[in-house]
Amino acid sequence: MSAASTFHDLGNLIQIAASAINIVTRTSAIPAIHSGPVLARARASLEQAGAIVRQAIDLIRDQAAVVEAASVADCLADVVALAGADRRGIVVDIVIEPGLPDVRCDPIGLRRAVLNLVFNARDAIADQGTIQIAARAIRREGIAAAVEIRVADDGVGMAPATTARALDPFFSTKGDGLRGLGLPMVERFAREAGGGLVIESEPLVGTAATLRLPAADAQPESDREEQPR
């Protein structure tokens, strides 16, 4: 991952932690039953930020571990815990197909990718709306070949010209700074893992981003092509 995308994701995580801390400090009499989950979200956000920093250091030292598999269910649970409850009026609906296989990619990278998709969906919703996260296996001849993670919102949506440029680095309708890095980072992550990312959107209807990653036990396309028929 590039330094810019790392700073972008760290900024998102720090924003989550700061928002959680602000909620607690603004309400001095907040009961523990409510402050506990808020502070837990801040802690989880900072732990994820720390994991990203450690991974970046390992890459610099050329000591990054090769990770073969990541649990989609665990990733989505972490994502919802991090980003699902700090904006009133937004409902996060998650559906995971039973028996979903692991995917062949880095777990930290997977969390970063899905968090970016959820942040984009959240930003597209004004005061209230729904973010739907669905994960399902794509099967060939009864065997799970890949997993699709679809993050959809009922927000403002994008015009076709904007959708066509959504994966361009630094292209954004949200302002300056490190905007416009989230979706290109997700697309690059998916491509390097042997998968892909598809963006579909319609103005005033919403946007759906579908991340496809190879199943951990799936035979790579290149290997299948070399097999005798």
Mean pLDDT over 88-116 rounds to 90
Q: What's the pLDDT at 8?
A: 65
225 domain-assigned: no
Give residue-wise pLDDT tens across range 177-208: 445 677 888 999 999 999 999 999 999 999 99
- pLDDT at 50 exceeding the cut of 80: no
- pLDDT at 96 exceeding the cut of 90: yes
If we measure between CA atoms, which residue out of 44, 42, 43, 65 comes closest to residue 54?
65
**Which residues pair with residue 137 across a beta bridge?**
147
179 domain-assigned: yes
224 domain-assigned: no
| Alpha helix (H) residue ranges in 72-181 | 72-83, 107-124, 160-164
**Total structural domains in the chain?**
1
Half-sphere exposure of 85 (CA within 13 A, CB side): 19
Give the three-state DSSP class for 221. Answer: helix
106 domain-assigned: yes
Average pLDDT, the chain: 79
| Cβ neighbours for 105, distance < 8 A, ≥ 6 positions apart | 67, 70, 189, 193, 195, 213, 214
58 domain-assigned: yes
Confidence of residue 27 (pLDDT cuts 50, 70, 90): low
Q: Find out whether 214 and 220 touch, Cβ atoms under 8 Å.
A: yes
Q: What's the pLDDT at 58?
A: 65
Q: What's the pLDDT at 218?
A: 73
Mean pLDDT over 3-10 rounds to 66
- pLDDT at 88 exceeding the cut of 60: yes
Mean pLDDT over 44-67 rounds to 65
Q: What's the pLDDT at 226?
A: 45
d(CA 4, CA 27): 35
- pLDDT at 80 exceeding the cut of 90: no
For residue 99, give both structure tokens. 């028996």
Domain region containing 203: 3-218
Q: What's the pLDDT at 141?
A: 85
Q: What is the CATH number of the domain that holds 146?
A: 3.30.565.10
Q: Of 55-64, 81-90, 115-124, where does the model show the most confidence?
A: 115-124
227 domain-assigned: no
Higher pLDDT: 139 or 227? It is: 139
Q: Find out whether 98 and 61 touch, Cβ atoms under 8 Å.
A: no
Q: Which percentage of the chain shows pLDDT scores above 70?
A: 64
Orientation angle between helical segments 72-83 and 107-124, nearest 10 degrees: 40
- pLDDT at 86 exceeding the cut of 70: no
| Cβ neighbours for 56, distance < 8 A, ≥ 6 positions apart | 1, 6
d(CA 87, CA 164): 29
**Which residues pair with residue 200 across a beta bridge?**
208
Q: Report residue 157 CA to chain centroid gap.
A: 18
143 domain-assigned: yes
| Alpha helix (H) residue ranges in the chain | 3-26, 32-60, 72-83, 107-124, 160-164, 182-192, 221-226
Q: What's the pLDDT at 177?
A: 44
Tokens 């990312």 locate to: 197
Mean pLDDT over 37-42 rounds to 70
